[in-house]
Structure 1
Amino acid sequence: MRRIIRLLFLVVMVASLTACQSAYYKTMESVGYHKRDILVDRVEDTREANQDAKEQFADALERFRSVVQVDGGELEERYDALNSEYEDCEDRAETVRKRIANVEDVAEALFREWKEEIGQYTSASLRSKSRKVMNDTKTRYNRLIKSMKRASAKMDPVLAAFKDQVLFLKHNLNARAVASLKGELSSIRSDVSVLIRDMERSIKEADSFIKSMESGK
């Protein structure tokens, strides 16, 4: 019975969220701000979040390098600095994930509405043209969201590696512990480089998608 109650609760929650989103889109459309415009804005927001995250991960890598390569100094202060960088990376990654989810939400609503309205055409020629534009837009969108998700997924192993180093340093605040982390630097540097490359690709895909939407092509 409890399982059924939990399932019903989840169904109600999803339905409520869907209803709220629908109401939001209708309200925005009533003032001339359509799903297409919202999609472009959310892609821009996600692009900016990716840019911020890319810079934050690069900063964290530099901080990690400074911790393991500089001799002397207060180890606790160096741990605090590295932990702060890790937490900032985690926050940036979560922002990117949320914004990707927002993009997916409005895109799903846009393409669902678009598909339904294609069926309302009386002109076969206009119906065909609209379907082609929709399919072309969906193809660009699918390429974009795939790129965004690929870059987002690459954040998780990097965050896990950073967290490991922070935890290790936290419980081993001595010079020998710091020295043992040096062997991890090359691996983390490589992971961050791959992550940044994928994030840059995602940013370029977002730029391309935004331009195509704004130009109507």
Structure 2
Amino acid sequence: MVKAAFRSLPIALVLLLAGCSSAYYGAMEKMGIAKRDILAERVEKTREAQTEAKQQFADALQRFLAVTKNDGGDLQKKYDELNREFQRSESRAKEVRERIAAVEDVAEALFREWQQELSQYTSASLKADSQRQLDATRRRYDGLLAVMRRAANRMDPVIATFRDQVLYLKHNLNARALAQLDSTNRTLEADITRLIADMEASIKDADSFIKELKSKP
């Protein structure tokens, strides 16, 4: 029941609590939730946020293409449609970055604690084995974080392009402006294709990391 409640915490509350990380993690451990559990949960939430962002960017691209290739209709309505897609995409991108930051916070706390506790061993063989596990887990985590960050960074040029197009159309509601937006379609498609590929790689790696983390004692 405790873990079910933990899973339902919204991102805003998680980030607020994480602002006082030591106290928060200490409180969670008293409730039977270890840092390893929190790390697995946050990686899972990041994976979900990336899945949603991937779908949003794909949907936004289709909307953008549909609007710029259609010469008829109300230009104000077209602007409103594109602006809504931009706002949704920007919101998804922000959530992904917040989720990654939350993962980094608990991971650093976990590895710091693990390293400190090595000095408490009296058995040299157990200490060495724990050190090997720590090093392996850290390397695996560093690889996952790099993939997550690469995917997140791919969002920047897409968001920038969307913002430019929305702003341009906002102040130039005419057919000529629409034609100008159409000229960026190929670049935008290429950027989003690369973004989706990186998102999928990150999602896959997150799945693997979660399974590995949960399989270890």
How many Å separate the matches in 2 of 1:98 and 1:196? 19
Deviation at 1:196, TM superposition (A): 0.7
Percentage of matched positions with identical amino acids = 57
Aligned to 2:107: 107
RMSD: 1.3
Relative to structure 1, the CA distance from residue 89 to residue 112 in structure 2 (aligned partners, 3 Å threshold; closer, same or farther) is same
Paired amino acid for 1:40: A
Aligned to 1:133: 133
What is the number of residues matched between the two proteins?
201
Aligned to 2:85: 85
How many Å separate the matches in 1 of 2:19 and 2:153? 29
Aligned to 2:145: 145
How many Å separate the matches in 2 of 1:200 and 1:141? 17
How many Å separate the matches in 2 of 1:161 and 1:167? 10
SS where residue 72 of structure 1 aligns? Answer: coil
Aligned to 2:40: 40
How many Å separate the matches in 1 of 2:18 and 2:148? 23
Paired amino acid for 2:66: S
Aligned to 2:5: none
Paired amino acid for 1:95: E
Deviation at 1:18, TM superposition (A): 7.9
How many Å separate the matches in 2 of 1:18 and 1:69? 46
C-alpha deviations, 1:57-115, integer Å up to 9, x for none?
11110010011111201111011000000000000000011110000000000000000
Deviation at 1:181, TM superposition (A): 1.4
How many Å separate the matches in 1 of 2:49 and 2:159? 16
SS where residue 135 of structure 1 aligns? Answer: helix
Paired amino acid for 2:22: S
Deviation at 1:132, TM superposition (A): 0.7
SS where residue 20 of structure 2 aligns? Answer: helix
Aligned to 1:162: 162
Deviation at 1:165, TM superposition (A): 0.6
Moved over 3 A (4+): none
Deviation at 1:162, TM superposition (A): 0.5
Deviation at 1:174, TM superposition (A): 0.9
Paired amino acid for 2:175: A
Deviation at 1:21, TM superposition (A): 1.1
Relative to structure 1, the CA distance from residue 39 to residue 18 in structure 2 (aligned partners, 3 Å threshold; closer, same or farther) is closer
SS where residue 24 of structure 1 aligns? Answer: helix
Please state if 1:72 is matched with 2:80: no
How many Å separate the matches in 1 of 2:173 and 2:19? 52
Name stretches of at least 5 consecutive residues in structure 2 with no aligned partner: 1-16
Please state if 1:30 is matched with 2:23: no
Aligned to 1:195: 195
* Contact 2:144–2:209 under 8 Å retained in 1: yes
Paired amino acid for 1:128: A
Question: TM-score by structure 1 length?
Answer: 0.90
Paired amino acid for 2:97: R
* Contact 2:18–2:102 under 8 Å retained in 1: no
Deviation at 1:176, TM superposition (A): 1.4
How many Å separate the matches in 1 of 2:89 and 2:189? 15
Relative to structure 1, the CA distance from residue 18 to residue 177 in structure 2 (aligned partners, 3 Å threshold; closer, same or farther) is closer
Aligned to 1:14: none
